[in-house]
Amino acid sequence: MKLKICLILLAVLTLSLNSYLPYESAFVENIYSQGIFQWVRRVHDFSLGRLPWPNIYILALLLFIGLIFYLKHFKRKISRLPFIWKGVKTLVLDSLVFLSFIMILFYWLWAFNYKRISFEKKNNLPKIEITEDWLFDEIQLVHDSLLALRPFTESDYNHSKVESDIRLSLAKTLPSLGYSVNGNARVREVNPKGILLIWSTAGVYLPFVSEGHIDKGLHSLTKPFTLAHEMSHGYGIGQESTCNFTAFLGCINSENKSIQYSGWLGYFRYLLSAGRRTNQVRYKRFYEEQFHNDILIDLDNIYKELQKYPDILPKLRYFLYDSYLKSHGVTEGMISYSRVIHLAASWKEKQGEF
């Protein structure tokens, strides 16, 4: 009983600390993100991270076994209780202890990173407004970059090699952006195909196993960019827009042409969505007059692959994840993913190029 009470109190203290700490916190940046989290990263990457299979499978197995044992224990305990309400009290307390344990792990293994200093402030990026002309000029520039790279892309996807290449590229890219890179963050392919896509999710980082995951059902052209996004989370970046931008930079700085192509393509898809919303007439003109057929084929193939795994409860998933992001300081919620365009514009304004 004492252990249960201690876990609940520790969870309350953790949540209180998270509520007390401000966003853009130098304390979080220096003590947690650059300190405690780096040790979390090292311990995992040089122990469980060396296993040849995704640790999420081990976690799922342990949870299943634990649930079976708990139900058997609870059944025996209930049979000895004189009153039903005592059984309800026990169930509520045990559930609270389990949730407390989950909450403690979630924040101390990763989620305090939401409060660290932002990418924009780290790199002194200017705030600029994206004009329609800039947007369509950028669409044209990225389209041309894709066209130049496409003949060098490979059709086969080797996950281990791509993971290794992206890790090497991010290890060079992230320190220049103000982020520490320790250990060897892992991103695993998970089966069965579509297990994440049916929830409108291409990839996910799970703090409980300190690993990122991408759906094996993704089209091979999108896997490197998605992998780089989840690996960026693995190196302690919380904001989705920042992970999209670091994934983009990590991909285009890779020596692997296929990875470069995936990075430009991931960025291009966000630009196209913004272009459609901004000016449908201008977008249609670009689509009909300048869109190269090879790029269209790639985008169409990606769409067809996604259609194999229709969403389950998309509105509920959107609401829950949107609420989750907003509760952790991502004020734009799900829209924050597309802010990669604003980061790119600010970066080019300061640096002149990627």
Q: What is the pLDDT of residues 111-143, one digit of tens each?
A: 999 999 999 999 999 988 899 999 999 999 999
* Domain residue limits, the chain: 2-115, 119-351
3-class secondary-structure state, position 205 = strand
Note whether 49 and 210 are within 8 A (CB).
yes
Cα 304 to the chain's mean position, in Å? 23
Note whether 310 and 198 are within 8 A (CB).
yes
Write down the pLDDT at residue 79: 66
Does the structure show a pLDDT above 90 at 334? no
Note whether 222 and 202 are within 8 A (CB).
yes
In the DSSP assignment, the letter for residue 34 is I
Note whether 188 and 215 are within 8 A (CB).
no
Please give the Cα distance from 257 to 154 (Å, whole number): 8
Please give the Cα distance from 348 to 126 (Å, whole number): 10
Per-residue burial over 157-168, b = 16 or more CB atoms within 10 Å of its CB, e = otherwise: bebeebbebbbe
Q: What is the pLDDT of residues 310-330, one digit of tens each?
A: 988 778 777 877 787 777 777
Q: How confident is the model at residue 189 (pLDDT cuts 50, 70, 90)?
A: very high
Q: What is the pLDDT of residues 235-264, one digit of tens each?
A: 999 999 999 999 999 999 999 999 999 999
354 or 102, which is more confident?
Answer: 102
